[in-house]
């Protein structure tokens, strides 16, 4: 109902009575449309001022109220349309309002701004619904039962567009591995998958990948590190202005913490998760928009809700509906101190009051202490009726798997989805299944939509998106690095992330099974001070292991050679040494020589202890432990660990026991565990600090939240691929390692293996011929290195298609 | 008369014209869209290339281009007496004196515009990395988005001068292995423009040739064979259905561009060993001198933006927390010869008119004051005391933001010109014509034909070449 119905009954008086009846529809609307629409109607809201609805109009601009009901002359709008100052007059250009028009508008304001109920100049910007919505699923067609397919098939049918063609087993297998665990499937896995004729094999592959916690966690760690701006080195860490959440995050991914709980712990921190909310505290003064509590508001908004509060933390946003006070309200939830609202870095004199963005769901009690407020915020953020919370994360997952968000870009959750049914379905499905993110991933990967060939993109593909199947993604820097490490077996042994890697618990492999040995029974006669003894063991290897490591110590000093190569020496028996034996091992006969020296004043207990482990490709283990089967000799070898001539006269070592040695058991155990981990699953790039190559391939500096990495390879990145030192060194070492392991396989077999690993397919006859020729026969290290390069920079490798 | 952009009195909302229409969904695509606005008039360029000579760590103005009362070393002399530890010398411009030790630069002063009144904001705590970030991006960190380096702006707005030459080249700064390397990386970047516009880093000038050469241990023949193998395999790729794919095409284009530079004639520009011996010697043997020589070769071959740094390493080079006099004496030797030679070389090749050379630093230094007078910044001098007790006390050991030197050559600037002044006695703050970083940047942008109001739509909001488009080119500096 109009607010002043009486006046509308008397339109004829309008001309004669000031401040009297004004015909809103016929008099006011045309004036406003003519002079104001360009900047203040529809999705235009210059100066933060929209005239779309009466509410918008009365809300005013970033400068405050524009209209005062009943007081035309005092209203800013009337003042500006009559102002003579060209800097402030409205409209800023074009024809000015006539005196009669000014009079009409003044009268309209004087009359209390009457408005036709329900009238709007233009629909305002899209406002996403807050509450979750359960769309009715369309009927399945052609047996495509997955809800994602039911929605998308109907979506395509409505637009009379075809369903994308199905994906081959090879391409599916590569895609799903890279998408879910970030790794290439090995040629063996691929062969087994292709040979499997059971109809449920894709489903099984998805389940298997999602049910192996460690590879899953170490792949998604990259995604979350970007989104939670966590890293292992970077601005702020050194002086305590920033805290890692690595250990907490890793564990949460490993145990697939339900997403609502995951977020609650990031909002209201538990041990190890506070770093995200605390942001980066810079030394010295920072602008008001970057104070830690304001960073908190921005981070919470962006990461969990896809709401950009960066504009609104300085002034009312010009591009969406968020207000300065709302950004500060969220900041005040976090802030332990009273927080003064600053507008464009200038104090406003007003204190922020803890509040959150959607009071419809409940309020924050500003009188509570910060920890309690954060708990309330955590509950509101993950409130079952907060549909924006679940929509934001399922959209991010959809984007990672399908290459384009349902809302895109994924941080612009204020904009309209191309299929609200799809978005709403995935969101409610997540909530219905205990916020299990793996469930959403499985649901998407199981769909025929995911298992379709990628869309072939045109240059304008980012404008006016229409769904036409998945889009291919570029390998992330971490995926690219991992893939090279996988193929060449050159991953580092140690990693930077301060996390407890899965499998680190001491298992039977880490029991102390080696024996302390020396040259004679020390119960009857202690070793002389300075006594030097050589120990020797020999063993045969039919094949090289994948890893080979040992932990050793000698009371008091030792030097270790493997196949005449010095591996380690130490004269601090209380600090046992971990060594990598892999590089010096060879197929056939191997020899370990250790020269041990006793110390001390006068005769005392002496002993050597070494526990080693070789792990083979088939998973089998060989131990390499000091025990009485080792031989000893009083002769010492030359500096190369070689006896010239061999003294003959080797005698079996004797097991010895010293109570004093028990006290280093913990450190022996610790080193064995580290070795076991190093010998366990490959160290992943996500666990490493960034390096030049990863940076060149798009791993971001994580000072800001990153939700989408660039999909393009740039020229500078291509330069690094061409001649960067890291890649070159890696391929050199990789070529050597592959040749060592695949020696005797023959060039053609090696090419097929490479194609299977890198591309998950067999080479065409033409490719096989080219690549085999490049390798040389027998394959050379340089040939292999160059072929590896030529294969790894191909778009087919660098893309997840 | 140069058509400098008019100092607009239009309020900021005018630049949002185009933006208001843009939906948030259009944001972030490929590093931002240029915001067109009639209020932005791109000025006519007076320079085509920029060389920044970066005196990393805080170059003390009273020890270089703004000599004050000379205090020789005297044991027991009050520290408060120390303004300059080098006597002033004449230059070839009447009325401009600089510090002893810079004799060669003194002889090219007639080609220079010397600004003595640059000022930096008081950030409450002196951190080189924050001030360096500010100087290089125009924005005080932290920022909610990754601000691009000045060079990235040039690369994004102007592109390369020569299509094979990377537009933004950064010489002399190692980005790994010291205490503040992470902070350096934060601004040595294309930022939100993306890595296409980021720097090509050449940390060691002698090894620059390596960065455009086949990898170590690979001869040219093998390198070409490898590329040929790549292309042959590409041609045989059975995935016909994706041949027209745009992403694939753009990836191949980048690989092709990279290969083109690696096999171009311009590649020789990166190899300073090809330079005649006399000319190498003319630049001095130091890393910075070699960097200047490399910069000259790159600009000759079409580089757009080159920065050469004396290299920032905490407490080293210009970061004189102790032993300032002796350190600066060495630095004079390191920079005097190459800077003068670079100017003479550019001039003799006819390049100086269109190449803007800027010698700058994140701030100045003072013997007594940390920051500016009354700043809350904590004292960071490592040798303290009221009197000179040993030579290591002698020098300007505190960070000073109240009056900093910038020296500009060529590129449309006046010649033999002095701008601004600082007080003759402590505090040595700018007392005439202060120049802020936004205004200094506006001057550089304007010389390059970029309005300081140029803005890009980043995450739905405008991001300007100078903060909020407020930088004003200093007209009096232009010839």
Decide if pLDDT at B309 tops 50: yes
Q: Max Cα separation, chain B?
A: 83
Residue B47: C-alpha distances to residues A17, B1, B352 (Å) = 66, 15, 9
A414-449 residue pLDDT tens: 889 999 999 999 999 999 999 999 999 999 999 999
Strand residues in B355-403 grouped as ranges (E): 355-360, 364-366, 398-400
Mean pLDDT of A592-616: 90
pTM of the full structure: 0.77
Q: What is the pLDDT of residue A505?
A: 44
Q: What is the pLDDT of residue A202?
A: 98
Q: What part of B 106-125 touches A (C-beta under 8 Å)?
A: 122-125
Contact B252 A795 (CB under 8 A): yes
pLDDT at B283 over 60: yes
What is the per-residue pLDDT for B339? 98
Angstrom CA distances, A489 to A105, A190, A682, A730, stand at 77, 18, 9, 10
Put simply, the chain B residues between 167 and 196 with a CB less than 8 A from any chain A CB are 176, 179, 182-183, 185-186, 189, 194-196
Tokens 């404008």, located at residue: A463
Q: What is the pLDDT of residue A680?
A: 67
Contact between A654 and A518 (Cβ < 8 Å): yes
Which chain A residues are within 8 Å of B145, Cβ to Cβ? 310, 704
The model's pLDDT over A259-314, given as tens digits with 9 standing for 90+, comes to 999 999 999 999 999 999 999 888 888 888 889 999 999 999 999 999 999 888 98
Per-residue pLDDT at A179: 98
Residue ranges of the alpha helices (H) in B263-399?
277-282, 287-300, 324-348
The average pLDDT across A520-531 equals 82
- What percent of chain A clears pLDDT 90, i.e. is strictly above it? 56
pLDDT of residue A631: 94
Q: Say if residue A167's pLDDT is above 80.
A: yes
**pLDDT of residue B20 exceeding 70:** no
| Per-residue model confidence as pLDDT tens digits over B397-416 | 999 999 999 999 999 999 99
- How much is the mean pLDDT over chain A? 89
* Average pLDDT for chain B: 89
Q: pLDDT value at position A417?
A: 96
- pLDDT at residue B435 in the model: 98
User: Is residue A207 predicted with pLDDT exceeding 90?
Assistant: yes
Predicted confidence at residue B39, as pLDDT, reads: 58
Q: What is the arithmetic mean of pLDDT over A641-650?
A: 88
With CA atoms as reference, the chain B residue closest to A44 would be B20
d(CA A256, CA A252) in angstroms, rounded, equals: 6
Pairing mode, if any, of strands B168-171 and B305-309? Answer: parallel
Read off the pLDDT of each residue in A49-70 and give the average, rounded to a whole number: 84
**Hunting for tokens 């000072």 — which residue is that?**
A703
Query: Does A462 contact B at CB distance below 8 Å?
Result: yes
Considering A434-438, A631-635, B319-323, the range whose residues carry the highest mean pLDDT is A434-438
Helix (H), strand (E), coil (C) string for A114-139: CCCCCCCCCCCCCCCCCCCCCCCCCC
What's the pLDDT at B29?
Answer: 38
pLDDT of residue A116: 74
The whole-angstrom separation of Cα B63 and Cα A183 is 57
Token pair of B164 as six digits? 């094979």
> Using one digit for the tens of pLDDT, what is the confidence trace for B330-342?
999 999 999 999 9
Query: How do beta strands A473-474 and A565-570 pair?
Result: unpaired
Q: Which of residues 409-448 of B touch A (CB under 8 A)?
A: none
Helix (H, G, I), strand (E, B) or coil at B356: strand
Please name the member of B11, B127, B195 whose beta carbon is closest to the beta carbon of A717: B195
At residue A278, φ and ψ (nearest 5 deg) are -75, -20
Q: What is the per-residue pLDDT across B145-164, written as a single tens digit (0 to 9) for each?
A: 889 999 999 999 999 999 99
Distance to chain B for A551, nearest Cα, Å = 30
Return the pLDDT at A521. Answer: 73
Cα–Cα distances in angstroms (integers) from residue B400 to residues B61, B276, B279, in the given order = 9, 41, 36
Residue A16 has pLDDT above 90, yes or no: no
Q: In what order do the strands lie in the sheet with B404-409?
A: B200-202, B168-171, B305-309, B49-54, B355-360, B404-409, B112-118, B417-419
| ipTM of this predicted structure | 0.82
**What is the distance between the alpha carbons of residues A163 and A179, in angstroms, rounded to a whole number?**
22
DSSP single-letter state for residue A181: T
Search chain B and give the residue with CA nearest A711: B247
Render A44-84 in DSSP notation, one character per residue: --GGG---SSHHHHHH-BTTB-S--TT-TTTSHHHHHHH--
Chain A neighbors of B17, CB-CB under 8 A: 46
Q: What is the structure's pLDDT at B37?
A: 59
The CA-atom distances, in angstroms, between A54 and each of A41, A58, A109, A324 are 12, 6, 12, 21
Looking at the complex, does the CB of residue A290 fall below 8 Å from at least one CB of chain B? yes
Q: A697 versus A583: which is more confidently predicted?
A: A697
Q: Give residue A296's Cα distance to chain centre.
A: 19
Specify the 3-state DSSP secondary structure of A140: coil
Chain A, 515-574: which have a CB under 8 Å from a chain B CB?
none
> What are the residues whose beta carbons fall under 8 Å from the beta carbon of A292, sequence distance 6 or more?
A278, A279, A280, A281, A334
Closest CA to A206 of A402, A441, A479, A502: A441
The arithmetic mean of pLDDT across residues B129-148, rounded, is 93
Q: Given CB atoms, is A795 within the 8 Å cutoff of chain B? A: yes
Average of per-residue pLDDT across A469-492: 94
Provide mean pLDDT across the span B31-41. Answer: 66
Is A554's pLDDT higher than 90?
yes
Over residues A9-33, mean pLDDT: 59
Bridge-based pairing of strands B455-458 and B461-464 is: antiparallel
d(CA B106, CA B94): 11
- List pLDDT tens digits, range A651-709: 999 999 888 888 888 888 877 877 765 556 889 999 999 988 898 888 998 989 999 99
Handedness of CA A516, A521, A523, A529 (dihedral sign): negative
Q: How many CB atoms lie within 10 A of CB A647?
A: 13
Contacts of B217 in chain A (CB under 8 A): 728, 732
Per-residue pLDDT at A473 exceeds 60? yes
Contact B459 A457 (CB under 8 A): no
Whether chain A has a CB inside 8 Å of the CB on B27: the answer is yes
| Nearest-neighbour CA in chain B from A723: distance (Å) | 5
Q: What angle do CA A259, A261, A264 make, to 5 degrees?
A: 110
In the prediction, which pLDDT does B241 show? 66
Tens digits of per-residue pLDDT, A342-351?
A: 988 899 999 9
Q: pLDDT confidence of A612, banded at 50, 70, 90?
A: very high
pLDDT at residue B28 greater than cutoff 60 = no
Distance between CA atoms of residues A537 and A629, nearest Å: 8
| Distance (Å, whole) CA A698 – CA A677 | 28
Nearest to B194 among A238, A714, A782 (CB): A714
- Tens-place pLDDT, residues A343-389: 888 999 999 999 999 999 999 999 999 999 999 999 999 999 999 99
B451 neighbors B42 (Cβ within 8 angstroms): yes
pLDDT tens digits along B289-305: 999 999 999 999 999 99
What are φ and ψ of residue A145, in 5° steps? -90, -25
Mean pLDDT within A88-108: 86
| Residue A166 to residues A441, B111, B248, Cα–Cα distance (Å) | 19, 69, 21
Q: Are B46 and B478 within 8 A, CB to CB? A: yes
């Amino acid at each position: 109902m109009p607010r002043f119905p009486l006046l509308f009954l008397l339109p004829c008086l309008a001309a004669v009575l000031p401040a009297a009846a004004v015909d809103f529809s016929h008099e006011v609307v045309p004036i406003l449309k003519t002079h104001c629409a360009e900047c203040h109607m529809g999705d235009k809201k210059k100066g933060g001022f929209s005239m779309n609805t009466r509410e918008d109009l009365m809300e005013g601009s970033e400068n405050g109220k524009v209209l005062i009901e009943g007081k035309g002359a005092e209203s800013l709008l009337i003042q500006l349309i009559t102002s003579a100052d060209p800097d402030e007059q409205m409209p800023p250009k074009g024809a000015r309002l006539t005196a009669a028009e000014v009079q009409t508008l003044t009268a309209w304001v004087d009359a209390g701004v009457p408005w036709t109920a329900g009238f709007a100049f233009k629909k305002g910007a899209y406002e996403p619904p807050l509450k979750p919505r359960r769309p009715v699923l369309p009927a399945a067609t052609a047996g495509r039962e997955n809800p994602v397919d039911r929605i998308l098939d109907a979506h395509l049918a409505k637009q009379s567009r075809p369903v994308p063609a199905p994906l081959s087993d090879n391409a599916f297998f590569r895609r799903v591995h890279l998408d879910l665990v970030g790794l290439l499937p090995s040629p063996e896995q691929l062969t087994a998958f292709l040979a499997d004729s059971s109809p449920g094999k894709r489903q099984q592959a998805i389940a298997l990948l999602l049910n192996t916690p460690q590879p899953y966690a170490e792949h998604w760690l990259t995604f979350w590190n970007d989104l939670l701006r966590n890293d292992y080195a970077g601005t702020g860490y050194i002086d305590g202005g920033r805290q890692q959440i690595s250990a907490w995050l890793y564990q949460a991914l490993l145990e697939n913490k339900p997403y609502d709980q995951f977020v609650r712990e990031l909002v209201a921190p538990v041990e190890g998760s506070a770093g995200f909310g605390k942001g980066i505290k810079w030394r010295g003064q920072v602008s008001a928009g970057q104070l830690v509590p304001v960073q908190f508001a921005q981070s919470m908004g962006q990461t969990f809700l896809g709401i950009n509060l960066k504009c609104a933390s300085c002034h009312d946003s010009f591009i969406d509906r968020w207000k300065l006070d709302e950004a500060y309200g969220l900041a005040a939830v976090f802030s332990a101190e009273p927080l003064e609202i600053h507008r464009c870095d200038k104090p406003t004199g007003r204190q922020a009051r803890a509040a959150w963005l959607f009071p419809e769901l409940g309020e924050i009690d500003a009188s509570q202490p910060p920890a309690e407020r954060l708990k309330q915020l955590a509950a509101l953020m993950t409130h079952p009726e907060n549909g924006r919370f679940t929509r934001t994360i399922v959209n991010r997952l959809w984007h990672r798997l399908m290459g384009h968000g349902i809302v895109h870009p994924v941080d612009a959750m204020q904009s309209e989805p191309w299929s609200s049914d799809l978005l709403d379905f995935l969101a409610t499905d997540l909530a219905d299944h205990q916020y299990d993110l793996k469930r959403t991933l499985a649901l998407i990967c199981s769909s025929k939509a995911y298992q379709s060939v990628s869309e072939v993109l045109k240059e304008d593909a980012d404008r006016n998106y229409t769904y036409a199947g998945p889009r291919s993604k570029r390998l992330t820097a971490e995926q690219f690095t991992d893939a090279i490490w996988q193929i060449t077996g050159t991953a580092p042994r140690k990693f930077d992330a301060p996390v407890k890697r899965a499998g680190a618990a001491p298992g039977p492999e880490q029991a102390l099974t080696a024996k302390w040995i020396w040259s004679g029974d020390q119960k009857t006669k202690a070793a002389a001070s300075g006594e030097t003894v050589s120990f020797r063991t020999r063993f045969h290897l039919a094949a090289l292991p994948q890893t080979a490591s040992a932990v050793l110590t000698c009371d008091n000093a030792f030097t270790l050679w493997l196949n005449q190569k010095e591996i380690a020496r130490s004269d601090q028996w209380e600090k046992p040494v971990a060594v990598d034996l892999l590089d010096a091992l060879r197929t056939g006969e191997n020899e370990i020589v250790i020269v041990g020296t006793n110390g001390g004043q006068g005769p005392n207990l002496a002993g050597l202890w070494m526990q080693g482990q070789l792990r083979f490709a088939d998973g089998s283990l060989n131990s390499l432990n000091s025990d009485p089967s080792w031989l000893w000799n009083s002769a010492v070898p030359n500096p190369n660990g070689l006896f010239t001539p061999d003294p003959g006269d080797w005698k079996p070592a004797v097991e010895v026991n010293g109570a004093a040695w028990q006290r280093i058991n913990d450190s022996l155990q610790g080193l064995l565990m580290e070795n076991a981990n190093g010998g366990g699953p490959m160290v992943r790039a996500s666990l490493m600090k960034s390096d030049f190559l990863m940076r060149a391939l798009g791993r971001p500096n994580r000072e800001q939240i990153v939700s989408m990495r660039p999909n393009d390879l740039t020229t500078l990145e291509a330069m690094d691929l061409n001649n960067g030192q890291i890649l070159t060194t890696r391929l050199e070492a990789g070529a050597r390692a592959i040749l060592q392991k695949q020696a005797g396989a023959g060039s053609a077999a090696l090419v097929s293996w490479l194609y299977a690993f890198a591309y998950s397919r067999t080479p065409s006859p033409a490719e096989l011929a080219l690549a085999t020729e490049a390798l040389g026969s027998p394959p050379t290290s340089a040939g292999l290195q160059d072929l590896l390069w030529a294969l790894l920079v191909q778009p087919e490798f660098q893309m997840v298609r | 008369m140069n058509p400098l952009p008019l100092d607009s009195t239009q309020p900021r909302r005018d630049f949002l014209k185009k933006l208001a229409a843009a939906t948030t969904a259009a944001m972030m695509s490929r590093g931002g869209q240029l915001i067109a606005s009639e209020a932005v008039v791109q000025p006519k360029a007076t320079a085509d290339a920029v060389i920044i000579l970066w005196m990393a760590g805080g170059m003390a103005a009273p020890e270089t281009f703004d000599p004050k009362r000379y205090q020789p070393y005297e044991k027991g002399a009050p520290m408060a007496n120390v303004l300059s530890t080098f006597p002033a010398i004449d230059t070839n411009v009447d009325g401009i004196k600089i510090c002893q030790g810079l004799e060669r630069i003194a002889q090219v002063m007639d080609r220079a515009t010397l600004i003595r009144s640059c000022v930096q904001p008081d950030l409450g705590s002196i951190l080189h990395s924050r001030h360096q970030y500010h100087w290089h991006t125009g924005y005080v960190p932290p920022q909610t988005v990754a601000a691009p380096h000045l060079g990235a702006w040039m690369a994004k707005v102007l592109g390369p001068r020569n299509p094979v030459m990377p537009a933004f080249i950064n010489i002399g700064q190692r980005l790994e292995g010291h205490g503040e390397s992470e902070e350096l990386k934060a601004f040595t970047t294309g930022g939100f423009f993306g890595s296409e516009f980021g720097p090509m880093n050449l940390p060691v000038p002698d090894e620059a040739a390596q960065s455009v050469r086949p990898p170590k241990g690979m001869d040219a023949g093998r390198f070409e064979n490898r590329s040929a193998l790549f292309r042959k395999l590409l041609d045989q790729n059975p995935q016909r259905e994706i041949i027209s794919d745009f992403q694939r095409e753009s990836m191949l284009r980048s690989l092709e561009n990279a290969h083109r530079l690696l096999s171009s004639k311009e590649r020789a520009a990166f190899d300073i060993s090809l330079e005649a011996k006399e000319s190498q010697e003319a630049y001095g043997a130091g890393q910075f001198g070699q960097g200047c020589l490399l910069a000259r070769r790159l600009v000759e071959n079409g580089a757009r933006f080159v920065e050469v740094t004396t290299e920032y390493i905490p407490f080293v080079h210009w970061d004189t927390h102790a032993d300032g006099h002796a350190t600066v004496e060495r630095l004079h030797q390191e920079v005097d010869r190459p800077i003068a030679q670079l100017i003479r070389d550019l001039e003799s090749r006819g390049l100086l008119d269109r190449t803007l050379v800027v010698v700058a630093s994140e701030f100045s230094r003072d013997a007594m004051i940390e920051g500016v007078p009354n700043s809350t910044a904590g004292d960071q001098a490592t040798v303290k005391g009221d009197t000179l007790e040993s030579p290591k006390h002698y020098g300007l050991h505190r960070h000073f933001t109240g009056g900093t030197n910038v020296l500009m050559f060529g590129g449309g600037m006046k010649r033999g010109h002095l701008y601004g002044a600082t007080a003759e006695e402590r505090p040595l703050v700018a007392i005439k014509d202060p120049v802020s970083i936004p205004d200094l940047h506006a001057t550089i942008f304007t010389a390059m034909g970029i309005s300081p109001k140029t803005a890009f739509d980043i995450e739905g909001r405008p991001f300007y070449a100078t903060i909020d488009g407020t930088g004003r080119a200093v007209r009096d500096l232009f010839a």
